[in-house]
Structures are given as C-alpha cells and as structure tokens.
Structure 1
Amino acid sequence: MSLQVISIPPTTGQAPIGVIVALHGWGANAEDLADLAPFLNLPDYQFFFPNAPFPHPYSSVGRAWYDFQQNEGIHESRQLLTDWLSDLESETGIPLSRTILSGFSQGGAMTLDVGLNLPLGGLVSLSGYLHPIAEGTKADAFPPTLIVHGTRDSIVPVTAGENARDMLTSLGVAVQYQEFNMGHEVIPAVLNLMRSFVLQVMSQEVPKA
C-alpha cells in the first residue's frame, strides 16, 4: 500500500523554501484541496496533496483515511503518512522543521494524530477533531498548531475544535484557535489565517504583492 500524491512546485521557478502538505477529508480526494493552493498565495512553497489509501463507501471518486464506524484503516493510514513524511525530507531537501502538515475534517484529525509525533514546523487542523490521545503522551517540543472551526458546522460540531484546543493546550502544545461564522467549509478568511500562520511559524516576511 502506498500513497498517491499530487505535487505542486513553487510558482517562482526557484527551489522551495518550505513544504506544505494538505490532507483531504472523508469522501473527498487530493484534487479538492489542490484547487485551493493558489489562494494561499505562498509561491515559494512546494505543496503536496496525498490521496487517502482507502476507497469511500459511497463515492466512486472519494477516498477515506479510515472507516468512521469501526476505525478500520486508521493504523495503516497513520503508518503510511508517518513513513511518507519521514522520507519527504530526502525527496525535497527541505527538513521537517520547515514542513507544515495540514488537513480538513478527517484529514485534520489525521494531521493532529500523526503530526504531534514528528518534528514538523507546524500543524493546521481545519474543521477537524482529535483522536483519543494515549495516556502519558509527551514530547520535548510539539509543533505549533492552528485549529480553525466553524460555529455553524453541522458535520463536525464546534465543540470538537474546542475539545482539541483544550486537550492539546493541556499537553503543552502552542495552540492558536480561531472560530468563524461558517459551516463545514473553507472560506477565504480561513485561507488568509492559514497563510499568516505559515509565515509566522516559518519566520518569513510576507511576500510583496
């Protein structure tokens, strides 16, 4: 089992200064998030959009990181993503410390699940949630984390975002949390916030327009 990945190089034609990985949600696919890349206005970064390894039960084009009812596949997806991210540095020449792992909904849950155990530059969970965390989980330094949620989200309630914020904060994660008046979606304001977060944790000046 391997991951199929859409790769979008920097639009500057230069070598990337960082990497952004984005994990799609349950029933979507890599192309859904790849369409959003230009709107982040991060031309110096290389983007990677992996396809989840499992077919979606109700969509011929949708993918899933795991089955919601039985959690089947979660261990396989966790290992696949961990191995792939660990190998990414040798492929791109960019260290994990300059790599942002992000995701939407189920992809946001996988971002937190996998990303807290890797020396990444930052994590972004959009309309996501937190898997149960093993007792005694700790690290020398967790990646800074942005959690964004909609107050009108009928798919993943806003309480899921609040619970993730509270749990991660209690573990010592540097969490930036923001709610928007939106449903289960990604609006332009969310992309603007994500862009600001990336520039902040990467300590890069905002590119001139």
Structure 2
Amino acid sequence: MALNAIAIPAKSGTPKGSIVILHGWGSNAQDVAFLCSLLELPDIQFFIPDAPFPHPYSTQGKMWYDLSYANFQADFTQQSDLQTSRKALIDWLNSLEAQSGIPLSRTILGGFSQGGAMTLEVGLSLPLAGLMVLSGYQHGALNPSKEIPPILMVHGRQDQVVPIAAAHRAKANLERLKASIEYREFDMGHEISPLVLNEVYAFVQKALL
C-alpha cells in the first residue's frame, strides 16, 4: 500500500536534513503542513504522509488504524490495520532517500497523538537522526534495533485525549531500553503549543544542524 505525502522543499534550496511528520487520528497531512512554516528551519525539507485509511467520522480525515474504542493501556499491535500501516510506513521511509537525496541518518521522524505512537512503532528500528513523540503513546512491546535514535517526548498534563499516564508508561519503557530521551511536560491539553514548537526547534538544531 503506497502512501501519499506532501513534500515541502527547504527554503534555502540546499537541505541539510529532512523531517517527516505523522498526523493524528482523524487529521490529515494538510492539517499539519502549517507547522513547517512556524518552525523557521530554512535548511530542512519536510515530508508529511497521509495515513492510508479513511477516518470513520470525518470525510477529510485519515487514520493509521481504528481508535474508536481506544484504551491507551492496551496492546494495539495485533490490529490488522496497524500492521498494514506499519509496513506501508516503513517501506515509504526506506524509499525516501531516493526521492529526497537525504539518508535516514539525516532524517527525523515525528508525530502527534496517533502519529506519535506510529513514530515509536517504526522509528526504534530504523537508523534515523531522531524521533519526536508529541502527545503520543506506546502501542505494545517495543522492538528497537541495537542503536535507538535520540527521542524527544512532549505531553500536556491536562491532555484529555491521551492521558499523561500513557506518556509516563512509554517513557519508563524507553528508559529500560537505555534510550536517550528528552522528556517535557507542560500545562496544556492535547495540542501543539508554542512551547512544544520551541522544544521541537531545539531538538532539530541538535540532531541535524
């Protein structure tokens, strides 16, 4: 299953790295494309793929897998739609260098909410420059490669969609794997606030620039 994506070239004309952003449940690539301009990273090219499945309640929305009856303490990994999305996303990421000219070692993978969960699902086993998990969670057992990319995790203490406990669980499990994690909590809900963008900007500067 091929993924469609929005590609935003580096404003400088000479990219030093790439960032892939995965949207959340019921959103789409167009919804999160505005983040690229807010980050003011002229030497970075962005890729924003659409999830492969239509959302059940939104005509324009997409999903990586069904979350209609979500329990963020559950193991999602046996869902067939998640398995399909996982393979499609890994295949797409592995083909990205041929399209962009930038290797995965100079690429950051990040996502919001369900996109953050997909970031952990596929990113731990790929040779990426870094992972960004924004208001995300963990699907089930983590399957990292020998070297885990550095990770930025940001979550809102008042998140009413993905409870802060889900972030704590993912963080604890990543720490058991000896992952290098920058973890931030803010007094906010399920959102990407200016505080989050500041953390993303700083992380990208360290990882790619």
Q: TM-score range by the shorter chain?
A: over 0.9
2:22 paired with 1:23: yes
Regions of 4+ moved over 3 Å = 69-72
Aligned residue pairs total 200
What's the offset of the Cα at 1:72? 3.9
Match of 1:173 among 176, 179, 193: 179
1:11 matched to 2:19: no
TM-score computed with the length of structure 2 as normaliser: 0.93
SS in 1 for 2:56: coil
TM-superposed CA distance for 1:138, in Å, is 4.4
Per the alignment, in what secondary structure is the counterpart of residue 148 of structure 1? Answer: strand
Cα deviations by residue, 1:34-66 (Å, 9 ceiling, x for unpaired): 011111111110000100000000000000000
Letter in 1 for 2:145: A
How do 1:53-68 residues align onto structure 2 when only pairs under 5 Å count?
53-68=52-67
Q: How does 1:81-92 map to 2 (within 5 A)?
A: 81-92=89-100
Mapping of residues 62-141 of structure 1, within 5 Å: 62-68=61-67, 69=69, 71-133=79-141, 137-141=143-147
Question: Helix, strand or coil for the counterpart of 1:167?
Answer: helix
- What is the CA–CA distance in structure 1 between the aligned matches of 2:155 and 2:167, rounded to whole Å? 6
Q: What is the distance in 2 between the residues matched to 1:162 and 1:168?
A: 10
User: AA paired with 2:83?
Assistant: H
Alpha-carbon offset, residue 139 of structure 1: 2.5
Work out whether 1:38 is the aligned partner of 2:30: no
Looking at structure 2, the residues matched to 15 and 5 of structure 1 have their Cα atoms a distance apart, in angstroms, of 20
> Which of 152, 156, 181 matches 2:158?
152
- Could you say which residue in structure 1 is the equivalent of 2:167? 161
The structural deviation recorded for 1:15 is: 2.1
**CA offsets, 1:149-196, max 9 Å, x none?**
000000000111111111011012111100011000000110111010
State the TM-score, normalizing by the size of structure 1.
0.93
Aligned-pair CA distance for 1:126: 0.3
SS at match of 1:73: helix
**Secondary structure at the residue paired with 2:205?**
helix
The answer to whether structure 1 residue 188 and structure 2 residue 194 are counterparts is yes
- Return the offset for 1:86: 0.5
- Aligned-residue Cα RMSD (Å) equals 1.2
- Deviation larger for 55-64 or 84-93: 84-93
Cα distance between partner residues in 2 of 1:129 and 1:5: 23
